[in-house]
């Protein structure tokens, strides 16, 4: 076993739009056989939800404990001076559409008592008809949009974009968006849990009642000029570089030995598909691990037992 990798216990979240993909696709043991799980929080540092280290030197410690007490040792130098680890990484299983929603831009968060959330999606699984929703149709202005909220017919006014396995989408705070049905997504985001729902497709929540909508907050938060997502498909290289996180992708053929070059700070690795070995540890689809700060190592070498895809997430160093 590679001694210095850090693995965390996932936290599963029931969602009205969820399913059982974590069990069916990733062979996980879920807490309750009768629950539809929509999210698996893999790396999280929030007051009510803490990732806990599985084993090794830091076994039993929370992510927040590592961030507060072992920051330079585990994460490195030049990182944001904040009280919580600044990212949240999760897997989403959308058997049904998610609500049409928006996350507020940073400039409005104090007024709205909210948190900003810029995020990236990587499509791990998708049906032939899968789409994501992003922005408004051409010719739909803010006033028309407000009217369609009141009339409950938003669907015709929102753009949809077909997606397939291997696509990535960047979603800045302020964009109007939703995940369509039949999709499994790896999500990398700012550490935020603020979502303003605009429209919920006229469905009921798990309690049998309509879920709360946030019309006023949504209208304040939506960037009505942002109607086309940054999206694409790439096998190797940088996917997203933004002020909050950088995400790179590495695709290996069966039998490949390939190195991910790195700087000395930590990185989080996600095995999106396949099976790889790192040292004498083996990782399969859906596995996450953190490789800590290491000034002696400038690359991480993986061996692929079969075709595999790996995402790497890092945080840009703060320029002083």
Asked if 26 and 285 count as a contact pair (C-beta separation under 8 A), the reply is: yes
Catalytic residue among 15, 197, 211, 312: 197
Q: How many helices and strands (H and E) does the chain possess? A: 6, 21
For 222, the 3-state DSSP assignment is coil
Asked if 287 and 1 count as a contact pair (C-beta separation under 8 A), the reply is: no
Residue 116: which of 200, 49, 196, 51 has the closest Cα?
196
Q: Alpha helices of the chain — where are they, by DSSP H?
A: 21-24, 63-69, 71-74, 106-112, 142-151, 215-221
Q: Can you tell me the distance from the alpha carbon of 149 to that of 253, in angstroms, rounded to the nearest whole number? A: 48
Q: Can you tell me the distance from the alpha carbon of 116 to that of 316, in angstroms, rounded to the nearest whole number? A: 18
Q: Is position 197 annotated as part of the catalytic site?
A: yes
- Which residue numbers are catalytic? 197
């Amino acid at each position: 076993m590679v001694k210095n990798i850090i693995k965390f216990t996932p936290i599963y979240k029931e969602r009205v739009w969820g399913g059982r993909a974590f069990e069916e696709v990733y062979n996980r043991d879920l807490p309750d056989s009768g629950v539809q799980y929509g999210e698996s929080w893999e790396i999280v540092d929030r007051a009510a939800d803490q990732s806990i280290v599985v084993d090794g030197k830091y076994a039993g410690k929370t992510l927040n404990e590592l961030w507060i007490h072992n920051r330079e040792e585990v994460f490195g130098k030049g990182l944001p001076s904040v009280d919580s680890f600044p990212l949240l990484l999760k897997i989403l299983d959308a058997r049904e559409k998610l609500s049409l929603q928006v996350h507020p831009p940073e400039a409005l968060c104090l007024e709205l008592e909210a948190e900003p959330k810029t995020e990236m999606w990587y499509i791990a699984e998708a049906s032939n008809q899968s789409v994501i929703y992003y922005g408004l149709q051409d010719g739909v202005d803010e006033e028309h949009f407000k009217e369609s909220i009141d009339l409950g017919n938003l669907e015709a006014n929102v753009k949809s974009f077909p997606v397939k396995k291997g696509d990535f989408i960047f979603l800045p705070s302020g964009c109007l968006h939703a995940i369509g049905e039949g999709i499994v997504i790896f999500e990398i985001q700012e550490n935020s849990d603020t979502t303003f729902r605009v429209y919920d497709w006229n469905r009921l929540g798990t309690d049998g009642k309509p879920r709360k909508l946030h019309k006023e907050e949504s209208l304040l938060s939506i960037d009505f000029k942002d109607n086309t997502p940054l999206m694409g498909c790439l096998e190797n290289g940088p996917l997203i570089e933004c002020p909050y996180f950088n995400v790179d992708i590495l695709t290996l053929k069966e039998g490949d030995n390939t190195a991910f070059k790195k700087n000395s700070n930590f990185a989080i690795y996600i095995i999106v598909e396949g099976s790889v070995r790192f040292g004498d540890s083996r990782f399969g689809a859906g596995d996450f691990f953190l490789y800590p700060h290491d000034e002696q190592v400038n690359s991480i070498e993986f061996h692929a037992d079969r075709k595999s895809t790996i995402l790497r997430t890092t945080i840009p160093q703060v320029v002083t």
